[in-house]
Amino acid sequence: MSEQVSGTHGPREDDAIKRQDRDELQAHGEEWPEPESSGEDQAEAAWAPEGRFAATTPEEDWQTIELRSDLARHLGRTAFPATRAQLLETLAAHQAEQRLLDLMSSLSDGATFASLGDLLRALGLPTEQRPA
């Protein structure tokens, strides 16, 4: 096997550095490191209220987020633009829950929706606002 040699100095200097490090470890080996603080002097952690993602506004709740997520999962991006009837067909084809079918049935018959955001606004649901 070949011995690894430093690029800045030769094997003699490497050995000297190893000896120096070994001597320092032996000299300080009996000392104990200072224990870390118990955290009593640190500020209290800030937690998001229960039932809310940290990045969501306080007005949003789990049910709204879950409803948006379920609609997006069942409809996908390819479903748009679509009418109420087309969206109902897509939801039925993806075996969506009855609550989603009932929600979609509440929309006006002739409306066309260009995107999931348009659909959510028509349903009176808040859309997700991402920071720029």
Cβ pair 72, 94 in contact under 8 A:
no
Q: What confidence score (pLDDT) does residue 91 get? A: 92
The CA distance from 102 to 65, in Å, is 18
Q: Where are the domains of the chain?
A: 62-123
Q: What confidence score (pLDDT) does residue 88 get? A: 92
Half-sphere exposure of 78 (CA within 13 A, CB side): 3
Encode pLDDT of 58-92 as tens digits.
555 778 888 888 999 999 888 889 999 999 999 99
Q: Could you tell me which residues come within 8 angstroms of residue 115 by beta carbon, excluding any fewer than 6 positions away?
A: 80, 81
Whole-prediction pTM: 0.52
Report whether pLDDT(130) > 90: no
The CA distance from 62 to 75, in Å, is 20
- What is the mean pLDDT of the segment spanning 110-123? 89
Cβ pair 84, 107 in contact under 8 A:
yes
Q: Counting every residue, how long is the chain?
A: 132
Cβ pair 65, 56 in contact under 8 A:
yes
